[in-house]
Amino acid sequence: MTQTVLITGAGIGIGRATAKAFAAAGHHVVVTDVLEAEGRSCVDEIRAAGGSAEFHHLDVRSTEAADALVARIEAERGGIDVIVANAGIAHKVPLPALTDEKWDHTFDIDLKGIFRVVRPALPGMRARGRGAIVALSSIMGVAYGWDEHVHYSAAKSGVVGLVRGLAVELARDGIRVNGVAPGYIRTAQLLSAENSLGPEAAEKAGEFIPMGRLGEPEDIADVILFLASEGARYMTGQVVVVDGGLLVGRY
């Protein structure tokens, strides 16, 4: 069955790989991002490969924009079947510089941004008695602390609580809610020396990951595709760590 899948932050990285995975599986993908060129090129790639997709600019900090987009897709497509809440930022900020504004900016995108997109889609999902939501957390939200990223770790931990709370409240409506906690994935975010490991440290990280390599965006996309599928029909409220064995291999 062809489903309508809305993905946030789908212009680059994990979001882009996820959009392409859902399209390759025969679904219609609503690619959203604040990055116009990247989002549109993702749609172009999907269509060139024979898939179905459309792009919409969406800043998940805007309740008005999220409400309007969900309403538009519901009206045009007859409903949203899957939401992949992937949009996020990770800015390196040492504690002395961690102002209320910088804290709120990360939470507004990484945590509240998920709820803003999910909330307006729930009435439609409840009316149809089905739906799947997958939210992106991080190993920094389920197991690790991260110096100079306290706000990020806290927000990604919040995603775990959000997944659990939504899952319990929505289970009897036929709506499943799960999360993914990626480890070190080869994305622009990880390779940013300004805000994350940077290229050299990222490659060195691959040496102590039990599977011997960094993850690729496609490694996460395929797990997201599974969590949204009928194969995960009895799964809800779970946050699945996908990290090449990093957490279990470090002691």
CATH code, 126: 3.40.50.720
Q: How many domains does the chain have?
A: 1
The C-alpha atoms of residue 251 and residue 235 are separated, in whole angstroms, by 29
- The confidence score (pLDDT) of residue 203 equals 74
What is the domain extent for residue 116? 4-184+217-241
Report the pLDDT value the prediction gives residue 201, as an integer from 0 to 100. Answer: 67
When mean pLDDT is compared over 98-112, 189-203, 206-220, the highest value belongs to: 98-112
Of 67 and 188, the structure prediction assigns the larger pLDDT to 67
Mean per-residue pLDDT of the chain: 94
Mean of the pLDDT values across residues 3-23? Answer: 98
Percent of the chain with pLDDT strictly greater than 90? 87
- Residue 128, in any domain of the structure: yes
Q: Is residue 53 part of a domain?
A: yes
Active site positions, annotated: 152
**Helix residue ranges, H only, the chain:** 13-24, 36-48, 63-77, 100-110, 112-128, 139-142, 150-170, 199-208, 217-227, 246-249
Strand order in the sheet with 82-85: 52-57, 28-33, 4-7, 82-85, 131-136, 175-182, 239-242
Confidence of residue 5 (pLDDT cuts 50, 70, 90): very high
Asked if the structure places residue 246 within a domain, the reply is: no
191 within a domain of the structure (yes/no): no
Q: What is the pTM of this model?
A: 0.95
Residue 239, pLDDT > 70, answer: yes
Whether 193 has a pLDDT exceeding 60, the answer reads: no
In a domain, 105, yes or no: yes
